[in-house]
Structure 1
Amino acid sequence: MEPLLLLAICFVVAMAVVISLVKSRSNRTPSNVTSVQVPGLHPAKGNGDQGNLVDVATAGSLHQFLMVLHKQYGPIAGFWWGKQHVVSVASPTIFKNLVQVFGRPPELFKLFEPLITADSIQFANYEEGRRRRRVYDKAFSHAAISQYYSSFQKVAEEVSLKWDASSNTDDQIPLQKHMIDLAIKAIALTAFGECFKDSENINRLQNSYDLVWEVMEVSLTVGFPEPGTDRYKRFQTGKSTIYRIVEEVIQHKQLERARDDKVLFIDYLMSLDSPINLDRVFADGLSYMIGGFHTTGNMLTWALYFLACDQDAQEKLATEIQTVLGGDNVNPTNINNLTYLRQVQEETLRCSVLAPWAAKFLDDDVELGGYLIQKRTPIITALGVMLQDEKYWPDPTRFDPERFSAENMKKRQGHVFSPFGLAGKRICPGYRFAYVETAVVLATLVGRFRFKLVEDQDIKPVFGLVTHVSEEVWIKVAKR
């Protein structure tokens, strides 16, 4: 699975599965329950096709359910996703054995086909999935990302101007909105290019996506809309607009390719098939776009929230930014000198549990942790359970960037910290993108402003595949 490809989407999918199965009234019991050798749960009596998904819903999220499951049964445990037996693992040793596994269980994401379609890389395994990753990963290599710094700086400057206008007033700034807006602009500019250098197409894209997402969220409780209904028409209107925007981008790139020396993600999308497979370009473009802005937008929100709560860490970071950059912008040469900024990034990923889980499967029976796992059994890698394990992270809910100092990193066991999924061919393709974008934005904003939380806010994490804040985070800023 690409852990951060479909940043919030996968949570929607998981909960949609929960609700749809809870509505089932069948009393059948999974036929192979007696053959399972992994410790864990059996379906609650009378749940039938729901399996343990009722327990997942009761816990509040899959991550919270897995925290309880592993506390009770240890580093490897099973439960029932409807009629499908699922194994969850939370062990650095077992993680090591899964690093090179490419397969991702598509059945966990089928309910989201109305948006990303069956052509999405989210459903691609075997050689087809590998083929796409080999091509697409070129757009997120070290060399490719070096050309994105200026775009990241551009969107950071736009936010800086907004904050500057509020710095001499008592204005309250909606942090999450600013960061999500910024992240949408950043992925649009860097992945799709000059079509998004002004705000018109970005606004069209954002408004259309909001329309589609609103319909999908409501579908959690009432099901996907029937053709002909108002909800279905709204969904189709938003989706059609997004599709037209992608078509416009393709046409623009075809006309400008001879004069444009930049090679962006859209170029790799277009180069995969000849003639261009517009359906696949739309599906994969949308999948990567959503993954990109949900990941970085929420990562930035959490980072600035934690720094607003910890003024000492904020000042230490500001001092490093001023010392290392001396008024310059972040670039490929100086970024590695911002060591404390990287510690803030890492601790943000850990403390927020930004990516709580991922999933894989194998085509053959395999032994993991001393247990036999049947072929094609979905194997959840409980990344968030590891990130909150007191054995590796004392006082795990406390934000402390010193956990990632050079000295402390020497003591850490491998695979305990896997915030973007397990290393290998199915790690989140945009992890370098996320690190660089958030570095540029944090250096710009923390280097120029002091900020603090507005009083009387109760911010809690909402654990999806990407963890987001429970409500808008309001801050006040002042110039340094």
Structure 2
Amino acid sequence: MHLCSHLLTQLIQNQLLFFSFFQVKFLIFPSYLVKCCSLLRDGNLPDIVNSGSLHEFLVNLHERYGPVVSFWFGRRLVVSLGTVEVLKQHINPNKTSDPFETMLKSLLRYQSGGANVSENHMRKKLYESGVTHSLQSNFALLLKLSEELLDKWLSYPESQHVPLCQHMLGFAMKSVTQMVMGSTFEDDQEVIHFQKNHGTVWSEIGKGFLDGSLDKSTTRKKQYEDALMQLESILKKIIKERKGKNFSQHIFIDSLVQGNLNDQQILEDSMIFSLASCIITAKLCTWAICFLTTSEEVQKKLYEEIDHVFGKDPITPEKIEQLRYCRHVLCETVRTAKLTPVSARLQDIEGKIDKFIIPRETLVLYALGVILQDPRTWPSPHKFDPDRFDDESMMKTFSLLGFSGMQECPELRFAYMVATVLLSVLVRRLHLLSVEGQLIETKYELVTSSKEETWITVSKRY
């Protein structure tokens, strides 16, 4: 999960903790305090923009000042935690709320917060049910779309460069829209229309809110609002069509419709899930294939597992569950790519980390991108090494960060299954190869991506 300025400003409207801050023992840095005094309105926003992203700003901040740091996001004092050890100490009793959902709702100007623990728990169960049943009901569809992509790649000459980002985004859009929103998206034109609006909304969530550029451009703001309105219109129509009816194909929205939610909650939750699932699935698949092309040993081991589990038999949901090494490949992809580099929680009650007191209502960032590259937690952190997850303690740490287990966000759980099926289909028949001399630069926004298109080549195994 990531953080942008609108989330912060929504959470802290009409709250100013400047002088009250000195009444608690906390960590602050003189250079940043001076900047805040002189530029109270912006705080460290210019530093974040100049760093290139919030993640890169936090990397520099934690390197200079340690695992617990604070800075000013506009008028708000924010705390960031940069190691597993301090993250474990963080007190936040409301563990049933999804930080990714909270953030996106704020950015989309939906009503976030206000639900009690039991309501959050109920909605979490609905999400889990939606993910499980939509994947089960649509497994054949997912397999068919994966095989269509395989056939396309098999038709290419071995020297042809394949635009990986483009193909993974298209695949994710086709598969996720149909599994989340239904048969309307069997029509490629509907998918293209959705993808265009999705891209407009997501790009502004990822960038426009952070640097304030969206509100400064009337044209961009209108394009964003029009795109969001069109997406909402599509969802409202689907929700109306699915209410009170039974369909042979169970989609994610069906679980929300069948739950004890009003129409606005269904709209918001389905919007959040469809937006996030499309982009997380696309980027997880992109990075996984990208890393496989640069590690012949890992790709060989993955192929051997796929061959051992399936042999010449069809790919089935039951056998997919046996792909333990494939899951490790995907976990290591999330870690190495820093797929979601920042998450956040609002401090429900006053907390303490070491000697530092965190006042109630403080926004606490989990600098996941920093933690995922910490050599004290991850030996050789920059190496792509799925075998590290053979160690149960590594998997427990990963779960603590929200990337697996009980704290795993539903969008990521969904993406793991889609990516597992796709890799099973592709690696079973193809060698995935990198393009020599290609330099991949990373862009850190809500979900990490490459700045430019990533190119690969493929060759047939048989």
The residue aligned with 1:136 is 127
CA contact under 8 A between 1:195 and 1:252: conserved in structure 2? no
How far apart are the structure 1 equivalents of 2:334 and 2:235? 31
Give the partner amino acid of 1:223. Answer: L
The residue aligned with 2:386 is 401
SS in 2 for 1:248: helix
The residue aligned with 1:267 is 254
The residue aligned with 1:200 is 189
Q: Comparing 351-360 with 414-423, which one deviates more in the overlay?
A: 414-423
**Which digits, 9 at most, give the CA deviation of each residue in 1:148-200, with x for residues without a partner?**
4223212212211221221x253221101111111122221211222223323
1:208 positional shift:
2.5
Unaligned runs of 5+ in 2: 10-15
The residue aligned with 1:183 is 172
How far apart are the structure 1 equivalents of 2:94 and 2:85? 15
CA contact under 8 A between 2:402 and 2:408: conserved in structure 1? yes
How far apart are the structure 2 equivalents of 1:357 and 1:232? 25
Asked if 1:30 corresponds to 2:18, the answer is: yes
How far apart are the structure 2 equivalents of 1:329 and 1:433? 21
**Which digits, 9 at most, give the CA deviation of each residue in 1:309-351, with x for residues without a partner?**
1122222212221222113344332223322212211111111
Q: 1:434 to 1:232 in 2, by over 3 A?
A: closer
Within the candidate set 437, 455, 458, 1:474 is matched to: 455
Q: Output aligned runs, 1:75-474, within 5 Å.
A: 75-97=67-89, 98=91, 100-102=93-95, 109=103, 113=107, 116-119=108-111, 123=113, 125-127=115-117, 129-141=120-132, 145-166=135-156, 168=157, 170-213=159-202, 220=211, 222-224=213-215, 230-254=219-243, 257-258=245-246, 260-272=247-259, 276-277=262-263, 279-404=264-389, 406=390, 409-410=391-392, 412=394, 414-415=396-397, 418=400, 420=402, 427-474=408-455
Q: 1:312 to 1:460 in 2, by over 3 A?
A: same
How far apart are the structure 1 equivalents of 2:67 and 2:405? 19
CA contact under 8 A between 2:17 and 2:76: conserved in structure 1? no
How far apart are the structure 1 equivalents of 2:368 and 2:72? 19
TM (norm. structure 2) is 0.85
Give the partner amino acid of 2:425. Answer: T
**Which digits, 9 at most, give the CA deviation of each residue in 1:254-299, with x for residues without a partner?**
47x23x245432123323457x52x433322121111101111111
Taking CA–CA contacts closer than 8 Å with sequence separation of 6 or more, which of the two structures ends up with the larger relative contact order?
Answer: 1
**Which digits, 9 at most, give the CA deviation of each residue in 1:58-78, with x for residues without a partner?**
332222222232233332222
Give the partner amino acid of 2:159. Answer: D
1:235 positional shift:
3.4
Give the partner amino acid of 1:49. Answer: R
CA contact under 8 A between 2:346 and 2:361: conserved in structure 1? yes
Q: Comparing 91-100 with 179-188, which one deviates more in the overlay?
A: 91-100
The residue aligned with 1:7 is none
**Which digits, 9 at most, give the CA deviation of each residue in 1:9-61, with x for residues without a partner?**
x45x349979xxxxxxxxx9922342342324343432322222333223322
1:377 positional shift:
0.6
CA contact under 8 A between 2:303 and 2:427: conserved in structure 1? yes
Give the partner amino acid of 1:420. Answer: G
**Over the residues paired in the alignment, what is the CA RMSD in angstroms?**
3.3
Q: 1:391 to 1:201 in 2, by over 3 A?
A: same
Give the partner amino acid of 1:179. Answer: M
Unaligned runs of 5+ in 1: 4-9, 19-27
1:440 positional shift:
0.5
How far apart are the structure 2 equivalents of 1:329 and 1:35? 65
CA contact under 8 A between 1:95 and 1:415: conserved in structure 2? no
Number of matched pairs? 447
Task: Give aligned-pair identity as a percent.
Answer: 28
Within the candidate set 38, 57, 60, 2:52 is matched to: 60
The residue aligned with 1:6 is none
TM (norm. structure 1) is 0.82
